[in-house]
Structure 1
Amino acid sequence: MKILIVDGDRETRQHVRGLLEAAGYTGLLEAETSGDAFRLIGLGEAAGKRDAVDVILMATQTDGGVTGVETCRKIKQDPEMQDVAVIMMASEGGAEQLEAAFDAGAIDCLSKPVNRVELLTRMGSVVRMKREAEERRSREVELGELKRQLADARRVMQYLSALDSQTGVADREHLDRALDHEWRRATRGPTPLSAVMIDIDFFKTYSEVYGAEGAEQAQVSVTRSLSGSLRRPADLLGRYDDQRLLVLLPDTPIQGAVAIAEGMRAGIESLGIAHTRSQVSDWVTISLGVSTAVPTVDVSPTTLVAAAQQALGQAKHGGRNRVMVHVLD
């Protein structure tokens, strides 16, 4: 703890210093005038290198033309000095200045000549007060960190709650919210919004041959591959229902959506997941329906999904393992 003693009388400074040193206090500094004090603590025009202090023992009258009360007020006006405890030392006849000193920010006062018991009692109170303040700040830091961790955990839980538990992609509720959000956003552009509806070809027969565990592994492999085909943070893959997946592609015209869909189709086929009961390939394949619209406020976003479903139906009836397109007017 650093203590600054400010008094124009050298004998008083030495007396107070001796009492503090005898009580085990260290880090003691002395200043004869307010200007000297300002230089030591790095304040005002006279500021030197700032020497952080914890307590200032300030005479109500100091040399240099500035009263201790004025000095205290100036010190406490500095935001970085708010935690510094100022104790005024009043000479006989200076009691009338104590009220002004308290108004200026002093926390306590001593009578001069300074009495050892009175001084150490005041200092003990300051030490306890500062220790409690430090403990409070420490708790506030810990509480802030705990709040941050809880907020992080809440975001993770919100993220996880929006994922389909089986495939790890967005669930239907999250898809619906995202579709509504992107549709409204696109109307302000206006910009195109594309959707891709995806179905794993002959997946029911795959489940019959490879069992529930094999089917789940295949679904996970398919969704991972599809997710890897999406390059932008705004692109979203989700599980639309038990059999179908849906991809939302904001700000994507039909040509771009078809290119992404074709890349997805080729990527799944290249996985080489055996499907002995498929009627179109020896491997697991997918059929995709692409739709694109330039959203308007008088049209429901569900029309985009309905168009993608229609295009998917065309892909399945057209032989599967292909991409078909339906563009909304």
Structure 2
Amino acid sequence: MVIVMKPTAPQEMIEKIVKKMTSLGCQVHQSQGANYCLLGLVGDTSKINPSQIEANKYVDKLLRVQQPYKLANRLFHPEDTIIDIDGLKIGGGHVAIMAGPCSVESEEQLMTIAHAVKESGAQFLRGGAFKPRTSPYSFQGMGEEGLKLLKKAKEATGMPIVTEVMCQDTFDVVEEYADILQIGARNMQNFPLLKRAGKSQKPILLKRGLSATIEELLMSAEYIMAEGNLNVILCERGIRTFETYTRNTLDISAVPVIKELSHLPIIIDPSHATGKWAMVEPLSKASIAVGADGLIIEVHHQPECALSDGAQSLKPKKFAQLMEAIKKISEI
């Protein structure tokens, strides 16, 4: 339920209503704009008498939110959420580019790629220290040593770090090093992990599950937000369909759908969506053109030697060309 206050509503009246709703067992989330004030009610609203609320001369109208997600709903927060990390913005028309290797493999590898993507215009450095792999025999990442190298790369380039957190056991150590904590597609409905992320002070990059609906993605975001962390970035990375030519099927329609339903920023991962480096550029262009708030792209200077996902990684030169194209499209 959302109480829409009139622009003339005095602060004392707003506070009085908030206090009343809280006493009835609801959490109240206030969204204040230049010409509006919204009071979003979360919880059991059965004790609330709608006619009493609407009788208040300072209340414009009462909206019932039918969707199960509340805090992530645009009705609760009409303006786009903009997440600021070290002065770099994600959402609200800002195009954020996250780039780097799938896995941190060595200091030389990471530093080479970090400087290359920084030079081409990337604002954030992505890289996996803990790697969830389909096969238990595949490279699983360097763990905390990888996190230390990411921190070193940040100190050298100034780029904030984006890296994946896989479980509650390693959450604290990843949180210590990372600027953005990524929750991967396979963990999108790991509810204990989502609740732990909700208690973090760090922004969360939440990837859509392999076969998840958009509503399920938003409900996972709701788990994080319900615990107090409102800084959630959604990521469309392709879903599992019957098509086998590409690794996954990129649902590019998810961008305008999310923009309609939610205020949270959404970025695209064209690397995991296709599994083919040659398709990363056209899908990146399409993503920016359709309104995505950014991209997360895998880049490797020697993809043929990469310990994970070399086939979908762009070489630095190709990434530089892509950045030039993206710049032109985003300006339009």
Q: Tell me which interval the TM-score lies in, with the shorter structure as reference length.
A: under 0.3
Q: Which has the larger radius of gyration?
A: 1
Q: Which has the higher contact order (CA 8 A, sep 6+)?
A: 2
TM-score, structure 2 normalization: 0.23
TM-score, structure 1 normalization: 0.23
